[in-house]
Copies of this chain bind each other. A is one copy, B any other.
Amino acid sequence: MTYCVALNVRDGLVMLADTRTNAGNDNVRTFRKLHVVEQPGERVLALMCAGNLAVSQAVVNLLTDGVETERGRETLRDAPNVLRAAQLVGHAVRQVYQVDGEALQAQNVSFDVSFLLGGQIAGGPVRLFQIYAAGNFIEGGPDMPFLQIGEHKYGKPILDRALTYETPLEDGVKLVLISMDSTLRSNLTVGLPIDLLLVRAGALKVERQRRIGEDDPYFRMIRERWSSALREAYQGIPRPEWS
């Protein structure tokens, strides 16, 4: 399993991915699920993936080497805007399906993959897309300032309640770390370390990229403070008069 979450707020993007992959509970490994394409001053794109690891790596390889489209050979490094980059991810997914789909079906392996692509390219706004296994996609926005792939349920309530499009980027970092912590506690197939990325709107570069492991002092502090803050918060709510 996987948990990836991306915030698309007024100030920019916050993206966070875990690194655990498992082929059965007895075969657990660490793989990077956050891939960054950066040309400072010109573009910054980040792609996070969930689902079958062989499929998602094949898609990433195609996007790096070049996807054959009606316009020729295209990569994320030369997409003219983020929408085209999302279309390219979709193209790559469909090409991998054409090549591997039948063989996967013969082995009873589902073609299960999804992506979050966020970023900014000079001349355009920050955009965030979720790309499906069919290669089509949706876009987040002010009404829906976060998108998730993988094991999304445990980490959703905190985002539903606390995140808005106006949330500052640094507060967004706290929220995605809390959301990830809720998921890590409940699903063993989501695991540390986690990869965090910050992109400030207009900067056209990575503001911060950080791998966070068990010993990261800030993440440890969040985990401890959050649990005690929740306990205090619910204890502060009056008891029902009818109790």
Binding site for B on A (CB under 8 A): 153-158, 160-162, 169-171, 173-175, 178, 182, 185-186, 198, 208, 210, 218, 221-222, 225-227, 229-243
Query: How close is A12's CB to chain B, nearest CB, in angstroms?
Result: 12
Residue of B185, B225, B238, B239 touching A237 (CB-CB under 8 A): B225
- What are 12 A-to-B residue pairs whose CB atoms are below 8 Å? A157-B158, A161-B227, A161-B231, A170-B240, A170-B243, A171-B235, A174-B234, A218-B242, A221-B237, A225-B236, A225-B237, A229-B236
> What are the residues of chain B within 8 A of A236 when measuring CB–CB?
225, 229
A2: min CB distance to chain B, Å: 15
Q: In the complex, what residue of chain B is closest to A233 when comparing beta carbons?
A: B229
Task: Assess whether A208 is in contact with B242, with CB atoms less than 8 Å apart.
Answer: yes
Secondary structure of the A side of the interface? Answer: helix
One of B154, B156, B178, B237 near A234 (C-beta < 8 A)? B178
The answer to whether A162 touches B230, judged by C-beta atoms less than 8 angstroms apart, is yes
Number of copies of chain A assembled together: 2
Q: Name the residue of chain B whose CB is nearest to the CB of A236.
A: B229
A233 near B235: Cβ-Cβ < 8 Å: no
A142 to chain B minimum Cβ distance, whole angstroms, is 18
B210 close to A242 (CB less than 8 A) = yes
Contact A186 B160 (CB under 8 A): yes
With A and B bound together, what is the CA distance between A236 and B174 in angstroms?
Answer: 10
The docked-state distance in angstroms from the alpha carbon of A170 to that of B175 is 29
Given pairs A161-B185, A221-B238, 8 additional interface contacts (CB within 8 A): A160-B182, A160-B186, A161-B227, A161-B231, A171-B234, A174-B237, A208-B242, A229-B233
State whether B161 touches A226 (Cβ < 8 A): yes
B242 & A156 in contact (Cβ 8 Å cutoff):
no
Are B185 and A230 in contact (CB-based, < 8 A)? no
CB distance from A97 to the nearest CB of B (A): 28
Does A158 contact B226, Cβ atoms closer than 8 Å? no
Known A-B contacts A154-B156, A185-B160, A186-B160; A222 and B237 likewise in contact (beta carbons under 8 Å): yes
Inter-chain contact A237/B227, CB cutoff 8 Å:
no
Which B residues lie within 8 Å of A162 (CB)?
A: 227, 230-231, 234
When the two chains form their complex, are residues B210 and A161 in contact, meaning their CB atoms are under 8 A apart? no
